[in-house]
Amino acid sequence: MMAVSSYVFSKPGQLLLVAIAVGVCTYIAGRVDFRTSANALWILGIPLLVTSVANRTWDSRLYMLLPLIVCSLISVMLTGEFFGLA
């Protein structure tokens, strides 16, 4: 019998999903000039949502939450830098 993984999506897949989703949101928010503290909702909300959906156990959710938040913050910085949204 195969062991059941605690991850629905692979760890690199989760990181890629968060990076793309946050990058797209950052690009859209920068183009429409929507820079408020409400942006923190999707900067932190997307990793929380991906963590909740893509992991089966609480241990794996807690384990992946910090890397996904860091990935989100790096994605925001790089998207802003590459597209001149800063």
The pLDDT assigned to 1 comes to 46
The pLDDT assigned to 4 comes to 58
Q: pTM of the predicted model, to two decimals?
A: 0.83
The pLDDT assigned to 3 comes to 56
- SS3 state of residue 7: strand
Map out the domains of the chain as residue ranges: 11-82
Residue 30: CB atoms within 10 Å? 18
| Residues of the chain above pLDDT 90, percent | 38
Q: Would you place residue 2 in the very low, low, confident or very high pLDDT band (cuts 50, 70, 90)?
A: very low
